[in-house]
Structure 1
Amino acid sequence: MKNHDIEVLIIEDDLRIAEIQKRFIEKIEGFQTVGIAASYEEAKTFIELLQPDLLLLDVYFPDMNGLDLLKETKQQEKQMDVIMITATKEIQKVQEAISIGVFDYMIKPVVFERFKQSLVRYQEYHRKLVEFQDENLHLTQQQVDKLLRKEVSGTGPANDKTYLPKGIDPLTLEKVLVFLGRVNTGLTAEMVAKEIGVSRTTARRYLEHLMSEEKIAANLAYGTVGRPERVYIVK
């Protein structure tokens, strides 16, 4: 099978959110948005005509439930993978999506680092799948484990750091979290940068990653010139 960009269909009835997802995808090498569907009929038509590799799917639409569409995609001749991106937090919906077989489940609003993390993991899964198909293998347990994302590289707890996005060092991340934990009043990216010894941009990247993991929260505060600035605090 020839290597090609992973084709993504966005199924989202809020076109502003769909456009944000499209722009996120454009920033990640190896992916291509092939369409945006805002309704059940559009989704069915695009899936049938385009046969994408990956669907980014919301749950609630005016004319459908995304979980019902998820079930339908699992019956397609070409197996398509699905990442749910939704504001739905009910445990029953999350469990149902997992049991049907979503690759990932992201809760809106999604920050870019969390979005990228999910797509990069999917890219690795897709690459292995294509590789195994090309070789027409009878899979070993180790290869099955890789496809199930139980193994990325190495074994044990240290494996967690393999899921960190590019540019996020686990030791620096821990320093940021510890510093935030010591200060109950909240900190700006500039304060964190001075304490850790990194640039403000780098500090903000670590803080946004921690927000995507829901380990910290952020509020807006207004400085002396009236410009709002994010203040981060451990949840």
Structure 2
Amino acid sequence: MKKSRDIEVLIVEDDLRIAEIQKRFIEKIEGFQTVGIAVNYEEAKTYIELLQPDLLLLDVYFPDMNGLDLLKETKQQVKQMDVIMITATKEIHKVQEAISIGVFDYMIKPVVFERFKQSLVRYQEYHLKLVELHDENLHVTQQQVDKLLRKEVSGSGAANDKSYLPKGIDPLTLDKVLIVLGKVDCGLTAEVVAKEIGVSRTTARRYLEHLMSEEKIAADLAYGTVGRPERVYRCLTP
């Protein structure tokens, strides 16, 4: 099997200090190389056409463009390029738009190295699997399609469960719920879990009920002195 080349990354970021940080992050991760830094629309278009990178690290707001518009353009390129958004933009409609267009990941600034590395390593596995399938000219199986759709190839954790995660269930949040529950033996209510991971009670309950359906946690009824009994969720003993 031939040795794979480094994944070529183009950074599209108008703040050169942040771009340099991203470049240094990339240098710490084996199998990647930065092929350029673009600070505006014209540079981004030129570099994309000339360099044909595998991956773009893309911000949303620029003085002369909206990164989401550039994202749409990249999806129409002859060579398919993947995009990881790295931005301070937190508006839910912008996040939804980026996801609907087809970003590989969406990171909110400031990004710490561990989160950055996690994203690129996951992309590396995804990219190498695609290259392998292309080289072997295989007809993919349903299982391979399912894994590619959820950007998962190998590894462990909630993101790599055998069952496909339903809409509205994020693997990182799922991990947080499991970590919180794993810290106590007596179990926690949905309200306590919600406070611990910073989501609404309704959201926490949705994740807890999903884990119940996967038989990864159990629930008991706790009777207080007043009011209705509450469900208390706990991790199952391995």
TM over 0.5: yes
Structure 1 position 32, deviation (Å): 0.1
Unaligned runs of 5+ in 2: 162-170, 185-195, 199-238
Cα offsets for 1:33-79 (capped at 9, x unmatched): 00000000000000000000000000000000000000000000000
For the pair 1:22 / 2:56, whether they are aligned, the reply is no
1:113-192 to structure 2, matched below 5 A, reads 113-149=114-150, 151-153=152-154, 157=158, 159=160, 174=179, 178=183
Name the aligned partner's letter for residue 86 of structure 2.
Answer: I
Once residues 96 and 18 of structure 1 are traced to their aligned partners in structure 2, the CA distance between those partners, rounded to angstroms, is 23
Structure 1 position 150, deviation (Å): 6.1
SS across alignment from 2:80? coil
Counterpart for residue 107 of structure 1? 108
TM-score normalised by L of structure 1: 0.67
Once residues 4 and 72 of structure 1 are traced to their aligned partners in structure 2, the CA distance between those partners, rounded to angstroms, is 25
Cα offsets for 1:108-137 (capped at 9, x unmatched): 000000000000000000010000000111
- Contact kept, 8 Å, 1:125 with 1:149, in 2: the verdict is no
Give percent identity, aligned residues only.
Answer: 86
Structure 1 position 158, deviation (Å): 8.1
Counterpart for residue 70 of structure 1? 71
- Contact kept, 8 Å, 2:152 with 2:159, in 1: the verdict is no
SS across alignment from 2:147? helix
Counterpart for residue 3 of structure 1? 4
Runs of 4+ more than 6 Å apart: none
Once residues 95 and 38 of structure 1 are traced to their aligned partners in structure 2, the CA distance between those partners, rounded to angstroms, is 24
Structure 1 position 151, deviation (Å): 4.7
Unaligned runs of 5+ in 1: 165-169, 180-213, 217-235
Structure 1 position 149, deviation (Å): 2.8
Structure 1 position 94, deviation (Å): 0.3
Once residues 36 and 154 of structure 2 are traced to their aligned partners in structure 1, the CA distance between those partners, rounded to angstroms, is 34
In structure 2, relative to structure 1, the CA distance for the partners of 1:138 and 1:47 (3 Å cut) is same
SS across alignment from 2:107? strand
Once residues 102 and 156 of structure 1 are traced to their aligned partners in structure 2, the CA distance between those partners, rounded to angstroms, is 22
Q: CA RMSD in A?
A: 2.9
The alignment covers a number of residue pairs equal to 173
Higher RCO (C-alpha under 8 Å, 6+ residues apart): 1
Once residues 23 and 77 of structure 1 are traced to their aligned partners in structure 2, the CA distance between those partners, rounded to angstroms, is 29
Counterpart for residue 60 of structure 1? 61
Computing the radius of gyration from Cα coordinates, the structure with the larger value is 2
